[in-house]
Amino acid sequence: MLKSMTGYGRHSDEIDGFEVTFELRSVNNRYLDVNIRLPRVYGYLEEKIKKAIQKRAARGKVDAFLSIERPQGDTAEIALDEGLTRQYVEALKKIAQDHGLRDDISVSTVARFSDIFAKKVKEEDADAVWRAVEPVVEKALDAFIAMRQREGESLFSDLDSRLDKMESILSQIRSHSAVAVDEYRKKMEARLKEFLEDRQIDENRLLTEVGIIADKIDTGEEITRLASHISQFRALIRQDTPSGRTMDFLTQELNREVNTIGSKCSMLEITTLVIDAKNEIERIREQIQNIE
């Protein structure tokens, strides 16, 4: 079934101590263009997320956002500089001894020297982080694809009805085309009689001229190709694989055949039908711009 290129999905969860939120949205684009924003420290996840999106989407400009949080205090650890601490303690004892001071050195006294402590960021297991992030990404993608499919159902209904109209128009063009040559012959004969007055018309010459014109205004090939393109279009909107670009090509072909019919035959009824067909093709063209 058809999918739209417009979609949105979001999911949040807490997994193995990671609070993960993933959000993505997309708009129309000729190809798949993925842009991911995430904390710099987790930059190594970008390629994995991009591959997950590429498996589920074929076209569209996709903007994705990843947020990862850990419980306060769980992202770093305090390290003690043992050597520097020892030097501070020994220096304090020497001051007390040299100056006859009371030796009341305590932990709180030494702790005032903040440079003995170092804050180190904990190294995280990349695989463990991805195990927490991946299910959140997939669930957000599920919502994203579901929205694209709902939009696609609306597009399918509209396109299917427009193809019905195109087939109806084509059927009428076919009927009028069948009598166009005969009408042209009658008009030519009437004009010749008016021009020649009482002189006799050379029937063989008239038939020859009508035959030449008939070849010029014959739209049989265009009608056959137009019917084939409409049939192919119906098949495309019913298949599961992305087909927006193929539909774009077929729309150009539909327009080409209709234009040729219009230029070949100036019959008023056919001219009116050609205008109706071009209006439907333009609406089809507008709709397929949003198909994956």
pLDDT in tens, 13-38: 998 888 999 999 999 998 999 999 99
Q: Which residues contact 270 (CB under 8 A, 6 or more apart)?
A: 173, 176, 177, 180, 219, 261, 262
Q: What is the mean pLDDT of residues 254-274?
A: 89
Does 157 share its domain with 227?
yes
Residue 210 belongs to some domain of the structure: yes
Residue 1 belongs to some domain of the structure: no
Pick from 2, 44, 30: which is nearest to 240 by CA?
Answer: 2
* Spatial distance between the Cα atoms of 272 and 256, rounded to a whole number of angstroms: 17
For 172, half-sphere exposure in the C-beta direction (CA atoms, 13 angstrom radius) is: 16
Pick from 202, 55, 203, 211: which is nearest to 141 by CA?
Answer: 55
* Spatial distance between the Cα atoms of 110 and 82, rounded to a whole number of angstroms: 12
pTM for this entry: 0.70
> In total, how many domains does the chain have?
3
- Number of Cβ within a 10 Å radius of residue 251: 20
Does 185 share its domain with 255?
yes
Does 80 share its domain with 207?
no
Domain that holds residue 172: 151-288
Q: How far apart are the first and last CA of the chain?
A: 11
Does 32 share its domain with 80?
no
Does 158 share its domain with 195?
yes
Does 232 share its domain with 107?
no
**Is residue 267 a contact partner of residue 32, using CB atoms and an 8 Å limit?**
no
- Number of Cβ within a 10 Å radius of residue 210: 17
Higher pLDDT, 51 or 201: 51
Mean pLDDT of the chain: 85
Q: What is the pLDDT of residue 3?
A: 92
Q: What is the mean pLDDT of residues 111-137?
A: 80
Does 157 share its domain with 258?
yes
pLDDT at residue 215 tops 80: no
Does 253 share its domain with 226?
yes
Q: What is the mean pLDDT of residues 156-180?
A: 90
pLDDT at residue 85 tops 70: yes
Q: What is the pLDDT of residue 224?
A: 92
Q: What is the mean pLDDT of residues 209-215?
A: 61
Confidence class of residue 92 from pLDDT cuts 50, 70 and 90?
confident
Does 14 share its domain with 40?
yes
Does 163 share its domain with 104?
no
Does 11 share its domain with 144?
yes
CATH at 144: 3.30.230.10
